[in-house]
Structure 1
Amino acid sequence: MARLVRTVLVLLIVAGLGFAVFQVLRHDPEHPEPHPLADAVFVISGRPTTCADLLTHPCDYTLQTQYNQWGARLEQFLTTSPLGPYADRIGFAASAKLSLQACALSRTVGKTFLEFVAVAHVDHPDATSPELFPFWNRTRQSLCPSV
């Protein structure tokens, strides 16, 4: 009986230590969890629009960051940039999302058009590289140019 109690006690201690180690590893100070971002509001098509309003679903951290930074210029960019017939087919909101994704990747060191194509294919598996290239190229030139 004493052996059973001792075994259960050892198992509880090991489980407690495992939980404590998990908690420490989960809160890695080198990779802190991102804090929630404010959902910036910009006038698009004459009405106040948040990222979630524009895309009709909540924006992830990266998309929200890009919208907060470049959203004020988004409507003008999309209406004046020659993004090609694919942009016309997918519409304003999808073109906006692709443009914001291109901003995020193009401003990340080491990321190339190939990574953008992979990201774009999540929502647009039918899009070809030539259809996506105007988003990558024009976005980097006009919407969010690198300094």
Structure 2
Amino acid sequence: MDGLAWQAAFVSGLAEIDQEHQALLAMLQQLRSAIAAGATFSQVKSQLLACASETQRHFQHEETLMAAANHPLYLSHRAAHQNLLRDLSGVLEEVQEHPTKLTPETIEAIGNLVLRHIREEDLPMLYLLTHPEELARQQAAELTAENVF
């Protein structure tokens, strides 16, 4: 089984976000396949940069949805995005300096970071966006906690 394949367990209930997640995974699969077939860094650089750009655009989309909903996890989720982008930027810098370090395993590792983010960060956040009654309950609990202190 392909470790970067879309799985039913990743479905959030928000189709537009699920489609973006699927597209990101497909981009990573294509990159990994190209590198496994012998493509060099210079040959896949534009694909790699497009994947990074799409990841940033996707994160901005999630953050916009969260801000509009006054999502209680907004700040922590935004921080998770910033951390993941920092990690991805580090990998990009590393392979730009040492192109031979761009291997199928490198792309697999990037994919694993993305998948972990989807499972551990996105799914709980998106659950609240797709369940307005739970979102309202969380918002009320957060306001109550702020007022106590």
Give the TM interval when normalised to the shorter protein: under 0.3
Q: Which has the higher strand share?
A: 1
**Given the two structures, how large is their TM-score scaled by the length of structure 2?**
0.24
Comparing both chains, which one has the higher relative contact order based on Cα–Cα distances under 8 Å and sequence gaps of 6 or more?
2
Q: Which has the higher helix share?
A: 2
Larger-gyration structure (1/2): 1
